[in-house]
Amino acid sequence: MSNVMIYGEIKAGKIKKSAFELASQGRKLADSMGGELAAVLMGPQGEQFAPDLARYGVDTVYVLEAPELETYNSEFYAQALAHMVGEKKPEILLISHSMQGKDLAPRTAAKLGVGHIADCIAFELDGTTLVGKRPMYAGKCYAQWSSTVSPQLASARPNVLETAENPKAGTVEKVAFSPDTSRPTYKTKELSLDTSGKVDLTEAEIIVSGGRGMGGTDYSLLEEMAGIFGPTATVGASRAAVDAGWRPHSDQVGQTGKTVTPNLYVACGISGSIQHLAGMGSSKVIVAVNKDPEAPIFTKADYGIVGDLFKVVPEFNKELKTLLAE
């Protein structure tokens, strides 16, 4: 029996940090329900991560193996996950609201005929009812959502839930699974992942963003800052910079771009429009560099520097380098 089940996402041969976030949360929920915590991993690579998951409180790791599960595919993965839910009958299923999770969770929910409480930033239990708190209107308000049916499926925003070690003598169980291949799906022809080790915006702990004030495609000052911060930092952009063709669409932060939750967001030459704030407003600390003292970003920034970014950022980088070298 497993009362709580999590789906652990594996990307480019590594288990994602979100799996540990879900395990830590799942452990708490399972403990309050007096139950067990299971994790589902897809593909033969999964087995090696069982000890990591046990460290975060997972009792049983189910590893599903089938040729169709070797690379991610919405139909086969959703079938596999729905199969595990059918077999193990968890009361709660948690998935990450990552790009893959956004593709997988709703399809799995529809297969199971249940709802999907998406993009939660906090969970609590009301008896055995899972209550997920989630931002709506791009974070302009929050609401608590719960399911009226079982199993209760929810996804969690990456980078928000805390990880807590809670070692268990976890076990691994391999599960043979053959998907129904008569259901139409797509075929992956080409998968090009950035192998530079650059972290995705939605998972970054530090984001250095540039807007119209950058004045062109040269983002080297911001790349340099992200580089000084290290591999958990990356570069983002406002829509104005993206629409000008200076940065790719995938870099856009905001209401029609990505919602980000870094520990530190450095906004350079960004005015702070309502749509931009909607995407980055829940960053823990915001630093703004803008030459206009009236720029709206300053009403939200923890630290605002009024000045020309081309003069301030190089000094900032110098300071940072010295400090972080210590």
What residues contact 35, with CB distance under 8 A and at least 6 apart? 1, 2, 3, 4, 91
Which DSSP helix (H) or strand (E) runs through 130?
strand 129-136
255 lies in the binding site for ligand FAD (CB under 6 A): yes
Q: Which of the listed partners (another protein, ligand FAD, none) does 111 bind, with a CB threshold of 5 to 8 Å by partner kind?
A: another protein
Assess 166 for contact with another protein (CB under 8 A). no
Distance CA 224, CA 234 (A): 10
Q: Return the one option of ligand FAD, another protein, none that residue 291 interacts with (CB less than 5 to 8 A, by type).
A: ligand FAD
Encoded amino acid at 97, one letter: H
| 299: phi then psi, degrees, rounded to nearest 5 | -75, -10
- As a whole number of angstroms, the longest Cα–Cα distance in the chain is 62
Report the amino acid identity of residue 320.
L
> Which of the residues 214 through 253 are near another protein (CB under 8 A)?
229, 242, 248-250, 252
User: Which of 169, 176, 193, 325 is close enough to bind another protein by CB under 8 A?
Assistant: 193
Q: How far is the CB of 204 from ligand FAD (least distance, A)?
A: 16
- Least Cβ distance, residue 291 to ligand FAD (angstroms): 4
Verify binding: residue 45, another protein, rule CB under 8 A: no
Q: Which stretch binds another protein (CB under 8 A): 57-65, 87-95, 163-171, 191-199?
A: 191-199
For the chain, report the end-to-end CA distance as a whole number of angstroms.
51
Joined tokens for residue 61:
């790791």
Helix (H, G, I), strand (E, B) or coil at 72: coil
Report helix, strand or coil for 289. Answer: strand
Q: Is 274 helix (H, G, I), strand (E, B) or coil?
A: helix
CA distances from 251 to 31, 85, 240, 263, 289 (A): 39, 36, 11, 18, 19
239 sits near ligand FAD (criterion: CB under 6 A) = yes
CB of 309 to ligand FAD, least distance (A): 4
Q: Does 165 bind another protein (CB under 8 A)?
A: no
Nearer to another protein, 174 or 183 (CB): 183
Does residue 308 bind ligand FAD (CB under 6 A)? yes
Does 325 bind another protein (CB under 8 A)? Our answer is no
CA dihedral 40, 42, 46, 49 (to 10 degrees): -40
Is residue 283 within 8 A of residue 297, CB to CB? The reply is no
How many residues line the site for another protein (CB under 8 A)?
99
Helix, strand or coil, per DSSP, at residue 220: helix
Minimum Å distance from CB 110 to ligand FAD?
A: 28
Whole-number minimum distance, CB 312 to another protein, in Å?
5
- By the rule CB under 6 A, 269 interacts with ligand FAD: yes
Residues 291-320 that bind another protein (CB under 8 A): 293, 298-308, 311-312, 314-316, 318-320
Q: Is residue 213 a contact point for ligand FAD (CB under 6 A)? A: yes
Provide the token pair at 221.
């000052």
Task: Give the angle 172-176-180 at the CA atoms, nearest 5°.
Answer: 140
Under the criterion CB under 8 A, does residue 255 sit at the interface with another protein? yes
262 binds ligand FAD (CB under 6 A): no
Footprint on residues 98-117 left by another protein (CB under 8 A): 98-100, 102-103, 105-107, 109-111, 113-117
With CB under 6 A as the contact rule, which of the stretches 28-36, 79-87, 96-104, 272-280 interacts with ligand FAD? 272-280
Distance CA 72, CA 283 (A): 30
SS3 state of residue 37: strand
Interface residues toward ligand FAD, by CB under 6 A: 211-213, 238-241, 252-257, 269-271, 273, 275-276, 279, 289-292, 295, 308-310
